[in-house]
Structure formats: structure tokens, C-alpha cells
Amino acid sequence: MKSNDSPKTYRVKSFGCQMNVYDGERMGELLEAKGITPAAEGEDADLVVLNTCHIREKATEKVYSDIGRIEKSGREAGKKPMIAVAGCVAQAEGEEIIKRSPGVGMVVGPQAYHRLGDMVDRAAKGERSTDTDMPENAKFGALPARRRVSPTAFLTVQEGCDKFCTYCVVPYTRGAEISRPYNDLVEEAKRLVDAGAREITLLGQNVNAWNGEDGKGRSVGLEGLIHALAALPDLKRIRYTTSHPNDMTDALIAAHGEVDKLMPYLHLPVQSGSDRVLKAMNRSHTAESYLKLLDRFREVRPDIALSGDFIVGFPGETDAEFEETLQIVDAVGYASAFSFKYSPRPGTPAASMENQVPMEVMDGRLQRLQAHLSRDQYAFNQASVGKTCDVLIERKGRRPGQMLGKSPWLQSVFFDSKLQIGDMVRAELVQAGPSSLQGRVLEMATA
């Protein structure tokens, strides 16, 4: 392809959180509305969108090595692919990327990608452009209608963050907290269900901060939206992620005891078990208030699977404070969790704090923490053996004939039976592994 040709094929590569996955899907839909088709697997695309993540240093470094790789592969094939950098690195570094990488034609932030189509037209004329504006909610209204068919779909309901945890870039890359309007969301959910979605995961950097006015003009929180979606007959499952402990409401907790379609799973990051560290992180919850919150979920939904995020080696974290993180892990018994070494991010308060923890200390702490978390995940899976539950089949497994789905508790369940993607089966969980289970189909569920 010459640099002035309009692209015929595209590929979007999304990194980072599920909100980026959602954005990546929507950028794909937008490009397809312009007549650009997805590149076949294994083939180079005319236009590559790198939908990037800025959360940790490693994630950010990856962008530049990816750009280099795409350019090299283009050169070898005698082509010059168009490259767009989208997502949180685009927002954080903007023009810098254009300056540093001559092969990049477009830089577009997470709130501006509805204008990607115009940018592609300009790039075809050899014009490079950057758009990192943050107009509130503008992109959603300007995007083409949904036409996704996967049985599990993401729906971004809330964006941005006002919490300013001292280690985190999200408030800078995603902007202030905003909630999308209730009616738009019910409409988008209906379209997703019409297109084949059977499970919808509501997404937000602080999803439980979502609020809006329902169809009758009443103020509602996330539970109101959940109740509305639960009324869609062909939608079988609802999930939401990620929540912040401070935004949790009685009504949302109660919804876990009221709405059958709301899955018994909660991702509620705590980050550390030490109150001193939590304070330095600006988390504004304590280890105890967090544990009390979890108790309230367990009261209404005793089988709820709990998940969380952890950071080890926050500046100044002592051995004793790290032990407190292990203690909270042991107290909770997580079904799954994500754990990270602290990564200093430019412009965040923690990056300039004293007493940065040496890498080898962080390595040791992460290893110990992950040993506890893996132990608990395995125990949770083992305790599930013998249970009967519905499993929604999502994709093929690695072995021929094998199919994989998710239990209500978000565990991966494998089957060696003839099943289709999108099937909901009634299954017995027969065997547990460290991060998945083997299932046996009892019957097709029509629930």
C-alpha cells in the first residue's frame, strides 16, 4: 500500500482494561461503517490501531516496541501500514508520540475516538493528526449502532475517575467521572441482546459510582440499571466491574439478593491491607471498613465469589505492612485476584515519594502474595466440585473438541462435549484445577 491510499483492512489491538476492549470493539465498528474490513488472521492490516494502556511502565513501553514491529513487518512486505495510537498512552503522551514515531499517523484519546474516521481520511492524504479532547459523553452519541454477536458483551456505563489514588494515572488519562444516560444504556443493551449477547458486563473505572434518571425521572444508582436490564427476557446474566469501596451503596448490595440474573461475583479492589499504606495511597477506606463491606455482600449472597486488586511495594511499604496485606488476603479468601508491583507513573504524587521500594523486595513480596492468592483460588475451585450450575459457553478450548464457558462465579469451565458458543448448559462441576474446572453437561439450560 502506498502511503496515500485509503486503508482497506484494519486491525485493532487492545491492551489494558476491559474498557479498552469495549473501546476497541467500537473503533472496529466505526471503521467497518467506513467500509474498512477486519484483516484476516495472520495477514498484515493496512491500518493498525494500537489501543494502549498507561497503567504501569511495562504497558507503556510496549507501545513503542509494537510500533517498531508493525513498521518492520510493513517494510518487509513492501508496504507502509497506517498506524493509529489510541487509548490511555495516546491521552497521556499526545503529540510526543507523533514526534517520537514518524510512522504514526494518528494519535487519538479515549474520549475522542469517534473522530477516528476523519483522521483516517486525513492520514490517507498524508496529514498526521492528534486528538486528545475530552468532550463529555460525545463519543457515544457519534458512534455507529452496535452489531456485535458474541454471547458475552461489554457495555461501558461510566467513565473516568475522581478518586486520585496517589499511584494511578487513570484520572489523568480518562478524565473526570461521568455516567452515561440511563435511556442510552438500556437502548444499547437491547441492541446487544438483539445481536446475540446473553451476558452483559457493565463497565466503568468506578462502575458503582454510576447514577442517572430512570425512565420515570427517578434518580437511581447502578442497581436501577441492573433491574432494568434484568427485565430483558433474552439477557440471562449481568455483571459489573470495577467497583470502588467508597461508592458502594445499600441498594447495590441488596440487588445481589434480589436479582437472579446478577451473577454472584464481586470485583472490589483493596490494594493493601495496611491502613497507613491505604492512607498514603489516598484510598479513603481502611482494611476493616473493607472487610465489613464484604460481610454485607455475604449476608445477602453467601456464595458470592470475591475478587480484588493488590499493589505490593508502594513507596514506604515496610515488611510488617506487607504482612498486613497477606493477612487481609487470608481473611477474605479470594476466588481470584490481580496483583502488581508498584510502578511509578509520571505526574502522580507517589512517583516522587521517598522510600521507593527496591525491585528485588517487590519481587519477593509479589511472589509471596501470589502464592496466597493462588492457594485460595484453588481452594475456591475445589469447594465448587460437586456443585450444579449454569455455564455460558464462550469459546473453543485449546484441545480439539473442547469448549469453554464461565460459571456464575466467573470460573472457567471446560467441557469435552459437542456444544456451541452461546449455549447455556446446566452442568455439574466435576474436577478442579488451580485456575479452571472440568464440567459435565447435565442438560441444555433454557432458563
Binding residues: 17, 53, 88, 161, 165, 168
In which element (H, E) is residue 185 found?
helix 182-194
Residue 418, class by beta-carbon neighbours within 10 Å (0-12 exposed, 13-18 middle, 19+ buried)? exposed
Q: Which stretch binds ligand SAH (CB under 6 A): 70-78, 167-175, 389-397, 424-432?
A: 167-175
> 381-408: string of b/e by CB count within 10 Å (b at 16+)?
beebeeeebbbbbbeeeeeeeebbbbbb
Cell reading at 173: 488519562
* Binding of residue 174 to ligand F3S (CB under 6 A): yes
Identity of the residue, 52 or 384, whose beta carbon is nearer to ligand SAH in the bound complex:
52
**Shortest reach from residue 376's CB to ligand SAH, in Å:** 17
Q: Which stretch binds ligand SAH (CB under 6 A): 250-258, 320-328, 335-343, 370-378?
A: 335-343
* Binding of residue 257 to ligand SF4 (CB under 6 A): no
User: CB of 269 within 8 A of CB of 309?
Assistant: yes
In which element (H, E) is residue 368 found?
helix 359-384
- Taking the CB of residue 189, how many other CB atoms lie within 10 A of it? 23
* Binding of residue 55 to ligand SAH (CB under 6 A): yes
Identity of the residue, 163 or 236, whose beta carbon is nearer to ligand SF4 in the bound complex:
163
Residue number of the CB closest to ligand SAH reads: 309
Give every CB contact of residue 359 below 8 A, 6+ residues apart in sequence: 341
* Binding of residue 269 to ligand SAH (CB under 6 A): yes
- Give the residue among 236, 246, 207, 237 at the shortest CA–CA distance from 223: 207
Identity of the residue, 56 or 256, whose beta carbon is nearer to ligand SAH in the bound complex:
56
Contacts with ligand F3S, 84-103, as mask; x by CB under 6 A? ---xx---------------
The entry of ligand F3S, ligand SF4, ligand SAH, none near residue 340 (CB within 5 to 8 angstroms by kind) is ligand SAH
Contacts with ligand SF4, 222-251, as mask; x by CB under 6 A? ----------------------x-------
What is the DSSP annotation of 71-118?
A: HHHHHHTT---EEEEEHHHHHHHTHHHHHH-TTEEEEE-TTTGGGHHH
User: CB of 404 within 8 A of CB of 418?
Assistant: no
Site for ligand SF4, residues 145 to 164, rule: CB under 6 A:
161, 163-164
**Shortest reach from residue 218's CB to ligand SAH, in Å:** 27
Q: Which residue has the cell 481452594?
A: 379
C-alpha torsion sign, points 36, 40, 43, 49? positive
- Give the residue among 212, 210, 216, 202 at the shortest CA–CA distance from 259: 202
- What gap in Å lies between CA 231 and CA 234, rounded to an integer? 9
Identity of the residue, 106 or 270, whose beta carbon is nearer to ligand SF4 in the bound complex:
270
Contacts with ligand SAH, 125-164, as mask; x by CB under 6 A? ------------------------------------x---
Q: Which stretch binds ligand SAH (CB under 6 A): 83-91, 127-135, 166-174, 318-326?
A: 166-174
- Taking the CB of residue 352, how many other CB atoms lie within 10 A of it? 12
Site for ligand F3S, residues 1 to 60, rule: CB under 6 A:
16-17, 19-20, 53-55
* Binding of residue 201 to ligand SAH (CB under 6 A): no
**Shortest reach from residue 416's CB to ligand F3S, in Å:** 35
- What is the amino acid identity at position 142? A
The entry of ligand SF4, ligand F3S, ligand SAH, none near residue 171 (CB within 5 to 8 angstroms by kind) is ligand SF4
List residues near ligand SF4 by CB under 6 A.
Answer: 161, 163-165, 168, 170-171, 205-206, 244
List residues near ligand SAH by CB under 6 A.
Answer: 55-56, 161, 167-168, 170, 205-206, 242, 244, 269, 271, 309, 311, 340, 342-343, 345
